[in-house]
Amino acid sequence: MPLDFNMTVLVVDDFLTMRRILKNILKQVGYSKLHEAEDGAQALDILKSGDPKIDLVIADWNMPKMTGIELLKAIRADAELKDLPVIMVTAEAQKSRVLEAVQAGVSNYIVKPFTAETVKTKLEQVFK
């Protein structure tokens, strides 16, 4: 299935640098409906409000207030949100971390640093 560029994407990272880089890459790939949150708690508020309705979450792991893995677990535990695709982007590449994310139901995992091509490939793997 080709990527659906009509999707609304929520980029979650406490570093504005990474939000900016990810949004640039997503625009380059073809997405235009992009929103951002500074931590998991803010992201969860947006997701639960349904305004805007988010179709894909791309989240960092290490964040204050609510981490990416806590956000992922909260999404999978919510009846309304549980099927939402969640991609984690993190500098933490240790096997134990990847395993924890997989067990929590992550849709895909991107290790920093990454290229635009890597992000596109990971998106295609999620929506294949």
Q: Kindly state whether residue 21 participates in binding another protein, applying the rule CB under 8 A.
A: yes
Classify the C-alpha dihedral 96-101-105-106 as positive or negative: negative
Number of residues this chain uses to bind another protein (CB under 8 A): 19
Q: Kindly state whether residue 5 participates in binding another protein, applying the rule CB under 8 A.
A: no
Q: Kindly state whether residue 117 participates in binding another protein, applying the rule CB under 8 A.
A: no
What whole-number distance in Å separates Cα of residue 50 and Cα of residue 27?
22
Q: Kindly state whether residue 18 participates in binding another protein, applying the rule CB under 8 A.
A: yes
Q: Kindly state whether residue 53 participates in binding another protein, applying the rule CB under 8 A.
A: no
Strands 108-111 and 86-90: parallel
Q: Kindly state whether residue 32 participates in binding another protein, applying the rule CB under 8 A.
A: no
What whole-number distance in Å separates Cα of residue 128 and Cα of residue 118?
15
Q: Which residue has the tokens 């790939």?
A: 29
Q: Which is nearer to another protein, 39 or 47 (CB)?
A: 39
Q: Kindly state whether residue 39 participates in binding another protein, applying the rule CB under 8 A.
A: no
CB of 11 to another protein, least distance (A): 14
Contact 85, 56 (CB under 8 A): yes
Residue from 5, 15, 32, 125 that binds another protein (CB under 8 A)? 15
Structure-block tokens of residue 57:
């979450």
What is residue 72's DSSP assignment? H
User: Which residues here bind another protein, judged by CB under 8 A?
Assistant: 15-18, 20-21, 24, 62, 90-95, 111-115
